[in-house]
Amino acid sequence: MNINDLISRLDYYFIEGGIYFFSDVFMTLDNRYFLFHKAHPPSPLFIFPIEGERPNFNDLVFYNDCLAYLHDVPFIFYSSTNSKGSPFKPIIQSPGYSKAYATTAQYHSNIHEIFSLITNFKINGYIPFLWEKAYERKININLRSKYLRAFKEIRLYSMALKQLDPFVEFLCYYRIIESVAGNNGKEWIRDNLNNTLQFNFGFLEVYDTSFPANLAQTDNKRRLNLFSVYKRRARSRINNLNKDLNGVSIQKYLYNTIRCGIAHGKDEVVTYDYSANLEDVAKDLFVIKLLARYAIESTIVQ
């Protein structure tokens, strides 16, 4: 493929929040799509089919959500010719502002800034692009054979990553457990909590926001696995809950107290109190997040 043909096909691309690319990327997904990124000057992460002119919409959704799940940062895809602008119509229709706000480019630029802020707020760092070999040569990554069976749950996880409010993020993760369990998920949590804490989620490297300024100081001893941090915080939260719940099980607390307390407005409502409730749910996120990932991983290997 010559460069002019390549440029003519760069329409659809992914907008992500918090991924760092060391170099150019030119790789394939499932031998069906190209992924292309130019590091200098930086470009978006483009996707286009190996055969045909335009990508299939369902494929775009699938790859978007898989990339979000695998990097644990929010993703959304965009087309310079086919994407719609903002779904919101500003209340104040001032000249210029409302027009700019409604354009697809401006809307998705704003989304990129929001996603980056969400990632920075949650982890205060960058996630390096997973497939480092793609910097050196063209590689192919098979995602469909592994992740397609968990498509619905991965979409729910991708939605959770877009949330800044801990209450909403918690509900998004809990829906994954309900989806896999086929019920309220309490028995599933009871049966899988210890498995989740023992499970090897792999290595997802994270750099602090001073990267790449501190790159020269980064070696194997300093490498930080995001999943290890999640597990440490989840274990700490569970230990504290076991001390404080007066015999109430973890699964009952997560479902009856938190999930139902957030989702319903009748009894024992969990409100946004800017204090204890908010802090508790923020800590619970590490538990429910890993449970959701374990539910997805368990679905994948079935």
Residue 243 has pLDDT above 90, yes or no: yes
- If pLDDT is split at 50, 70 and 90, which confidence band does 217 have? very low
Whole-angstrom distance, CA of residue 222 vs CA of residue 245: 37
pLDDT of residue 40: 80
pLDDT of residue 216: 46
Q: Which residue has the higher pLDDT, 54 or 267?
A: 54
Reference 29, options 146, 184, 154; nearest CA is: 146
Angle at 10 (CA atoms; ends 109, 54), nearest 5 degrees: 110
Among 87-101, 139-153, 257-271, the least confident range = 87-101
d(CA 227, CA 216) in angstroms, rounded, equals 24
Amino acid at 103: T
Q: What is the pLDDT of residue 83?
A: 67
Peptide bond into 95 cis (omega under 30): no
Averaged pLDDT for residues 110-134: 91
The pLDDT, as a whole number, for residue 186 is 96
Q: Record the tokens describing residue 212, joined without a space.
A: 């790449």
Across the range 273-285, mean pLDDT stands at: 87
pLDDT more than 90, % of the chain: 58
- Higher pLDDT residue, 44 or 140? 140
Amino acid 298: pLDDT: 93
Give the pLDDT band of residue 106 (cuts 50, 70, 90): confident
Unique residue bearing structure tokens 């659809």: 12
Q: What is the pLDDT averaged over residues 260-275?
A: 79
- The tokens describing 274, both together, are 């800017």
Q: Residue 46: exposed, middle, or buried by beta-carbon count in 10 A (0-12, 13-18, 19+)?
A: buried
Using CA atoms, how far apart are residues 261 and 278, in angstroms rounded to an integer? Answer: 12
210 confidence band (pLDDT: 50, 70, 90):
low
212 or 164: which carries more pLDDT confidence? 164
pLDDT(153) > 60: yes
192 or 218, higher pLDDT: 192
Looking at residue 271, its pLDDT comes to 74
**pTM exceeding the 0.75 threshold for the entire prediction:** yes
Element spanning 20, H or E = strand 19-20
Task: Considering only residues 74 and 42, tell me which one the structure prediction assigns the higher pLDDT.
Answer: 74
> Over 80: is that where the pLDDT of 291 sits?
yes
